[in-house]
Amino acid sequence: MRLLAVAMVRLAARLLPGEMREWGQAMRHEVAAIGDGGAALRFAFGCLGFASGRAILAGAGARPRRTAAVCAVVATASGLAYLAIAGAPLRYIQMNLAALIVGLAVAAVLAPRLRAMAGAAGAALLLLLALPLGVSVNGATRWLALGGVIVQPSLMLVPLATLGFARERNGVTAAAMIVLAGVLAAQPDRAMAGALAAAMLVMALRRFGAWSAAALAAAAAAFLVTMLRPDTQPAMPYVDRIIGSSFAVHPLAGVAVIGGLAVMLLPAVLGWRAGPRDRDLHVVFGAVWIAIILAAALGDYPTPLVGYGGSAIIGYALSLAGLPGKRARGGVAASDLPPRRPASESGTAAERRWWQGRRRTVPITPC
């Protein structure tokens, strides 16, 4: 617990803005002075909550992807605190931490290069190829063995694929959603089929059309198939049913689990409040992860981020690539804002030329 407390305080110090660096130093000194490991962890958890709140509010609305990355770090750290308090093996903590690092690194590389259609179609194709290679347990084939690690491809790829469909609805992305639905029904994977159906439902409610209707019909049919097929997968410790049992382990463990799950959904709430621009993306993001959390609360399904399992952490991190990277002031795209003042010219002259160019290229519609 001592090492985890020190790591959490260091993370909290890095999340604080520059003018609060002295606060970070005080946090590190304080946690080093606390003799009891449990008390040090409680103090570190409070510091992380304070620092993450400052970081999230500082980027809320302006940098959705960066805000979501902070939420991923905080939620995973909350899960590490739960695992440490519950006495989980050290390798569980190491696996979750490694999954967070890998997921954020891949998302950082993927985000600037990912097109919506490529993301949705690629995720569907990977899931389709993984189906015959999957590991079967109790009649379900939803896992894939990569070396000595067992991963769940649907949990890693479905959230990103749904965001691709939310960004660009056409025949290619709709076909990708239909393929995803078929794969999830064949596995079967009730939780992810429900998440896909939830995402397609909110998309159909917001922007109904032929492609949205086709995707919703396929997702609903897949979810119905998984409901009719029995799921005999037993609950696993530190993975399933931890939402209700965490408070029995320790009150702080329960707070860590509930707080981590709430932080996971913050990007959707903040994106909705920021304005109508890219609201579809944030609604779908929230619908997918709410459905996954509900599945974990109601059945024997992995609890995302706060429970043991790297697939959900990587899936959450990859879904950040589908969120907008930066939103300029007033919800206007950065490319539509006046240029910064060149060093060799006056700001007034530069802005005048920019506005003259806009009047020539952009028609003005009278109110």
**pLDDT tens track, the chain, 367 positions:** 667 777 777 777 777 766 677 777 788 778 788 877 777 777 877 777 777 777 666 655 567 788 888 889 889 988 888 888 888 888 888 888 889 888 888 888 877 766 666 777 777 777 777 777 777 665 666 777 777 777 888 888 899 889 989 888 888 889 989 989 998 998 888 999 999 999 999 999 988 889 999 999 999 999 999 998 876 666 677 777 788 788 888 888 888 889 889 999 988 988 887 767 778 889 999 999 999 999 988 887 888 887 777 889 999 999 988 888 665 444 444 433 444 444 444 445 544 554 455 444 444 443 3
Please check whether residues 230 and 276 belong to one and the same domain. yes
Q: For residues 174 and 211, is the Cβ–Cβ distance under 8 A? A: yes
Asked if the structure places residue 75 within a domain, the reply is no
Overall domain count for the chain: 2
Alpha-carbon distances of 335 from 265, 277, 308, 321, rounded to whole Å: 29, 15, 42, 20
318 with 342, same domain? no
Greatest CA separation for the chain: 71
- Looking at the structure, do residues 355 and 266 belong to the same domain, yes or no? no
Residue 358 belongs to what domain range? Answer: 337-367
Q: Are residues 315 and 341 in the same domain?
A: no
Question: Do residues 307 and 342 share a domain?
Answer: no
Residue 350 and residue 305 share a domain: no
Task: Report d(CA 310, CA 299) in Å as an integer.
Answer: 19
Report the predicted TM-score, pTM, of the whole model to 2 decimal places.
0.76
- Are both 250 and 344 inside the same structural domain? no
Q: Which of 305, 315, 324 is nearest to 104 (CA)?
A: 315
Residue 4 lies in a domain: no
Q: Which of 275, 287, 268, 325 is nearest to 71 (CA)?
A: 268
254 domain residue, yes or no:
yes
In a domain, residue 304? The reply is yes
Instruction: For residue 40, tell me if it sits in a domain.
Output: no
Query: Are 119 and 226 members of one domain?
Result: yes
The reply to whether 247 and 344 lie within a common domain is no
Q: Same domain for 151 and 296?
A: yes
Contact 54, 15 (CB under 8 A): yes
My answer on whether 311 and 346 are in the same domain is: no
Domain contains 37: no
- The secondary structure of 102-160, three-state, reads HHHHHHHHHHHHCCHHHHHHHHHHHHHHHCCCCEEECCEEEEEEECCEEECHHHHHHHH
295: in domain = yes
User: Is residue 142 located within the same domain as residue 252?
Assistant: yes
In a domain, 353, yes or no: yes
